[in-house]
Structure formats: structure tokens, C-alpha cells
Chain A
Amino acid sequence: MDMKIHEQSEVAAAVEEIKVHSRENKISVKDLCAYFGKTKVLKNITMDIPSKKVVAIIGPSGCGKSTFLRSINRMHEVVGGTITGSILLDGEDVMKLDPVYLRRKIGMVFQKPNPFPTMSIANNVVAGLKMNGFRNKKALKGIVEKALKQAALWDEVKDNLNDSGANISGGQQQRLCIARTIAVNPEVILMDEPASALDPISTAKVEELIFELKKDFTIIIVTHNMQQAARVSDYTAFFYMGELVEYSDTKKMFTAPDKKQTEDYITGRFG
């Protein structure tokens, strides 16, 4: 898509509006371009992520939304991606931060639940902490309980904490992964299609959980499910062919988007 200059300025205006309306921005992205080899997969993305809000990223497959998500905690580097432009976390350039430290601050939940199969439920929750040398048993026990409660899983597993993390349902496994992410006390949680492999009841639980989590965390969620984006997020960004087409208040996005392209996408007329 060739985005005309006036359209780009409209996107910039909407982005500016979100910046003004949010009291505090957790993440500021400016002129972000991402490459895999010579292929440019993100083109000059500029947007702010408000603190303790949920931002949904939508767009057709290949539009760059997962790359955008992964750029934020530098996971794109793991698969050979490079970026230009800047991503600031509380004003700090993420490219200058230690990746391990960065990923502790910005946790990630993936599409497919991926608990460590040989570890117990409790050990799954505190795996990150233990890997970082945290050994205080009493404190770890408290963290397990707190993280599982925050992930709305405690009541379901509190009597089986020593069972394998692989022996619970898919929905429970995904909430276990969320508990594992929370346990290291991040500030931002990135979610890449967190409910796409789950049944409707588990999906509803994860969505309810997102509502709860935004009290404490800033959340960015990539989803193909339009209704999910509409339900869980405060702001929605529509990506197409590596460009940010529209970024606005979710209610506006799903009732009266500014761009015809956004309307065509959310109503299923293309993509």
C-alpha cells in the first residue's frame, strides 16, 4: 500500500492525540523500521503505548504486527532481525539495555502455551527467578502464590503445585505461562495471540485476566480475533504491509474508523 502524505499526517495526528490523552507513556516508538536481511517488514512506525493500558495490534498475516511486538523486547534479534529508529521504555533506549534485563522488564506470552514440561507447576512459575539465582524458598513460595493468584489460576492448582506443568489443560497452561511472566515482576507484558489455541471458556478467562492485569501492567496484544481486540483493549493499532494505518481509541476503531482500509479490514472485506 502506498500511503499518501496526507494520510500519514492523519495517522501522526491520531498518534499525537493518544499521546496527549494518556497521562504517561510507557513505551515510545519513533520511526521504527525492521528488517530481515534486505526485506523491510516495518516502515517508520511511530506510536506511544500508554502506561497500564491494553493496546491491541491488528492486521492481516505478514503485516508486521508480531515483528513489532518482538522488536519491543528485542526478540526479533533472536531470529536475525535488525531495526532502525527508536523504542524507548520509560525514556530509555531499549537497544542500549541488556537484553536479559530488558526481557525481565518486558515479559512475553506466546500463542501456544509453553510450560516447561519437566517442571512442576510451582517451579514453572518461578523458573525465571531461579535461573537468575533467586533461591529464597520462603520468598519463592510467596511469589508462586501471588503470581498464580494474579493469573487467576491459584484456586484451580493450589492443591497440585507439585504436579507437572504439562498435565493441566491448555487454558490452564496458558495462564501458567502468564503467571511465569508475572513472577519476574515485569512492567510490560507482550502477548502474541495468547488465546488463539484455546477453547472459548479458556479464552474468556484469559480475556478477563487481561482486564485484571492492566491494573498493574502495560499490555500489548497481537490478535487476529477482531472481537477480542475490541473487548480487551483500550487502544487499537491497525498495521498493513508494515505500515501503521490507524491508531486510535478502540471504541472508535470498531464503530467509526477514520480510514476506509481499516473499515474494510475489520469488517472482513479484505485481509
Chain B
Amino acid sequence: MERHFEKEFEELKTTINKMASIVDEQVESSFRDMEDAEARLYKSVKQRDREVDAYDNLIMAQCENLLALYQPVASDLRFILTAIKIDSQLERCGDIAVNIVQRVKKTDNFRELIAQTDLPEMAKITRSMVKDAITAFINRDLELAKSIWVNDDIVDELNKKIFNQLVEKIKANPEFAEACAHLIVLTRQIERLADHATNISEDIIFLIENEIVTHKKKLQDFQLPE
């Protein structure tokens, strides 16, 4: 006899996997739109965001229901807590995908600027981070989740590097100032996307290993006041 809890728990898993797949597609499309002027994926990325938002609300309701009705413990509780956190990360990833296509649209006449910076490289790494985070979550792949962290440092470095490249471009060609400003924002958005992928990987570690690794380095010598 299938229990109500099992049924609702499986429904939550299905919902979050569906949301993750859509976000994965959004991110993929947004980077394709950035790389390929002919892709024209602005509308589809934006439209899919409504689905992501609807899944966001649905996951919150499902988690609330499971917590209120069944008082789960151990790995079940960890999954629900992780679902709440990853849901929020995925929703932000979807928003960022929309921001990316918006910025790309605004710089449509200056696409060559993108190729003159390390933005394509940063986009490639970040794309793989998001994909790996989602795959690691769906497959409960601890090693894949941990591998994401290394790339976060690379993306942070590229963020600084691209900022300098664009500032130099503005200094040399003031007529590119507006386009470069959009690209600086775009770079920042991609960096945030990599952060969300890293956060998802930390949540996966909590889910699988019951260890809170978020802020671990920063909090090494820190104690909350009594």
C-alpha cells in the first residue's frame, strides 16, 4: 500500500526535477542567444520564466504541506529543506537567464564587443557549472557537486578580468560606453549564475552528507555573540 507521504514526496521530486530541466534550458538558450546573433531566443527564455515562477510557488506549497502534515525526519527532512533552498536558487537562475537575454538584446549592434573579451569563456564555464549542478542534484552525484567549486574561483577571476577589459574599451572608445556598461552588468549576472550553481552544489552536499558547508571558509574563526 503506497503511503500518502511517499506519493506527495515523489510528486515534490518530480516537480523540482521539471523546474530544474526548464531552468537548464533557459540558461542554455540565454547563452546561445549571446553567442549567436541569429538565435533570437529572447522571447522563449522570457516565456519559460512564467513556468519557472509557477513551479517555484508549487514547490513551496508542496514542501509546506509535507512539513505540516508528516513531520519528516532524517533524509526526508533534508530533502525537503534542500528542495526549498534549491528551488530558490533555480528561480534566481531563471531570472538571470532572462536578464542575460535582455542585456544581449540591448547590445545587439555591438556584438563584436563580446567576442573581444573573455565573456564567451566565462559563459562556457558557467553554463557547465549550472548543468553540472542540476545533473548532480537529479542524480545525487556528490563528486560532480564538489567539482563545481573549482570553477567558481575561475569565474570570479574572469569577472574581474572582463570588467577591466570593458573599462579599457570605454576609455579607448567612449562611443562604446553604453554597450560596455550593459556588458559589465551582463558579466555580473553570469558571475551570479555561477554563484547559484555553487550554492546548489553546497545544498547537494548537505542533502547527501548531512554536512553544512555553506560559508564554511568565512566562518572558520567566527563565533556568534552569546
Partner-B contacts on A (CB < 8 A): 226-227, 230, 254-257, 263, 266-268
Contacts and interface: CB of A to CB of B under 8 A. Distances in A.
Interface string B65-97: 000001111111110000000000000000000
Interface of B: 3, 5, 70-78, 210
A256 B78 CA distance: 10
Main secondary structure of the interface of B (DSSP, over half): helix
Contacts of A227: 71
| Most chain A C-beta atoms within 10 Å of own C-beta, residue among B71, B73, B78 | B73
Contacts of B74: 254-257, 263, 266-267
Given A268-B3, A268-B5, A230 B210 contact: no
A226 B72 CA distance: 10
A254 B210 contact: no
B80 to A, nearest CB: 12
A267 B3 contact: no
Nearest to A264: B74
B72 A267 contact: yes
Nearest to B211: A256
A254 B73 CA distance: 6
Contacts of B210: 255-256
Contacts, number: 27
B20 to A, nearest CB: 24
Given A255-B210, A256-B210, A267 B75 contact: yes
A267 B79 CA distance: 12
Q: Which 9 residue pairs across A and B have the least CB separation, nearest first?
A: A256-B210, A254-B73, A267-B76, A266-B73, A227-B71, A263-B74, A267-B74, A266-B74, A255-B74
A266 B5 CA distance: 13
| Most chain B C-beta atoms within 10 Å of own C-beta, residue among A226, A256, A257, A267 | A267
Nearest to A267: B76
A266 B77 CA distance: 11
B2 to A, nearest CB: 12
Contacts of A257: 74
A227 B5 CA distance: 16
A48 B198 CA distance: 44
Contacts of B71: 226-227
Nearest to B75: A263
A255 B80 CA distance: 13
Contacts of B3: 268
Nearest to A230: B73
A256 B74 CA distance: 6
19 contacts: A226-B73, A227-B71, A254-B73, A254-B74, A255-B73, A255-B74, A255-B77, A255-B78, A256-B74, A256-B75, A257-B74, A263-B74, A263-B75, A266-B73, A266-B74, A267-B73, A267-B75, A267-B76, A268-B5
B137 to A, nearest CB: 19
A263 B210 CA distance: 13
B205 to A, nearest CB: 13
Contacts of B73: 226, 230, 254-255, 266-267
A255 B71 CA distance: 13
A218 B5 CA distance: 35
A257 B75 CA distance: 9
Contacts of B70: 268
Given A227-B71, A254-B73, 12 more contacts: A226-B71, A254-B74, A255-B78, A255-B210, A257-B74, A266-B74, A267-B72, A267-B74, A267-B75, A267-B76, A268-B3, A268-B70
Contacts of A226: 71, 73
B31 to A, nearest CB: 38
Nearest to A225: B71
A17 to B, nearest CB: 18
A61 B132 CA distance: 45
B8 to A, nearest CB: 13
Nearest to B210: A256
Contacts of A267: 72-76
B12 to A, nearest CB: 14
Contacts of A266: 73-74
A129 to B, nearest CB: 41
A254 B71 CA distance: 11
A227 B67 CA distance: 12
A271 to B, nearest CB: 12
A58 to B, nearest CB: 11
